[in-house]
Structure 1
Amino acid sequence: MVKHAAEEASSSNLQSAAQAPSPESVAAPEPPRQTGTRWGICHIFSSYNNTIMHVTDMTGSETIGIVSGGQMVKSDRLESSPTTAMAGARKLAELCLDKGVTGVHIRIRAPGGHNGPMTPGPGAQAVVRTLSRRGLKIGLIEDVTPIPHGGCRKKGGKRGRRV
């Protein structure tokens, strides 16, 4: 009986030594993955002449990426087109995903103010669609066009613009 117990103990020690991994085969532990969404703010300025897309962190102080329609095409007349805005948004989405931003809140701005149009240009809607198709989560969509509150006198003289 004593012999059998000693043999079992030595055989169990051999098995545990065979199962223990060698130090060379042990891989370094993977860094913990963030399960939450890292958010940024996408500022879109869309006029009838150009579309500018700018992604910042949530405080607005650090730029993650900036792209304009003029960087995508050579001719000036194509800077504000939806096709150019889509190409810029694709590039911007890649920049965001490379830097770890997986969701954006969108702030759309038209020229506005006293003289500019209050509606965004043709590229704004194309940018929002492209960002969502490229895998970024879309949070809030907000219109931040400047609105005049009285202010300066409009041009046109005493009798206004005569047509």
Structure 2
Amino acid sequence: MSRRKVREPKEETTTLGPAVRDGEHVFGVAHIFASFNDTFIHVTDLSGRETMVRITGGMNVKADRDESSPYAAMLAAQDVSQRCKFLLSHPSNCGAIYCSML
């Protein structure tokens, strides 16, 4: 009579954040909302509690009719990327930028 093979339960690891390769650093999460009237780009930390950068398309153009244009969304995305690069290169200034953004 042969013995039954007992399978050992495999240990599964679950992560709630984005998939990250070894050696990469995760800065935050970008939330993008595009409506007919405006485009909002909001970068938070991984938990979503602290705002790093918040930019809208209307903040970069002067005319109200241009808020919803693709050009305004492109300018907002460029502004967000510049501010995120600045935060990565100057981590000590993160608190000052966070306060000035609100």
Post-superposition offset of 1:39: 3.3
Post-superposition offset of 1:76: 1.4
Contact 1:38 1:100 in 2 (8 A): no
Match of 2:88 in 1: 100
Q: Which has the bigger relative contact order, CA under 8 A and spacing at least 6?
A: 1
Which secondary structure state, in structure 2, belongs to the residue aligned with residue 84 of structure 1? Answer: helix
Q: Which runs of 5+ in 1 are unaligned?
A: 1-34, 102-163
Match of 1:64 in 2: 52
- Normalised by the size of structure 2, how large is the TM-score? 0.60
Match of 1:45 in 2: 33
Post-superposition offset of 1:38: 2.0
Q: Which of residues 64, 69, 75 in structure 1 aligns to 2:63?
A: 75
Matched length = 67
Larger radius of gyration: 1
1:54 aligns with 2:42: yes
Post-superposition offset of 1:96: 0.8
How large is the RMSD of aligned CA atoms in angstroms?
Answer: 1.5
